[in-house]
Amino acid sequence: MDPYQPTQPPAHTYYPSFTPPPPPNVPLPLPDMSPPKKKKPKKILTVINWILGAIVLVLALSICGVLSARGNVNTTSLTWTTTHSFKGNSSGETATFHVSSNDWRLHWTCQPSSFDGMSFNVIMNVVYASDGAIADYAAVNIICDDNVRSGTTDVHNVSGDVYINVNSEGSWAIDIQELE
For 77-106, what is each residue's pLDDT tens digit?
Answer: 899 999 999 999 999 999 999 999 999 999
Q: Is 137 inside a domain boundary?
A: yes
| CATH number for position 87 | 2.60.120.230
Q: Which residues contact 157 (CB under 8 A, 6 or more apart)?
A: 102, 103
Structural domain count, the chain: 1
pLDDT score for 177: 96
CB burial of residue 111 (10 Å; 0-12, 13-18, 19+): middle
Q: Is 73 inside a domain boundary?
A: no
Q: Is 175 inside a domain boundary?
A: yes
Structural domain including 138 reads 80-179
Q: What is the pLDDT of residues 16-65, one digit of tens each?
A: 666 666 766 767 677 777 777 776 656 666 777 777 777 877 777 777 66
pLDDT score for 13: 58
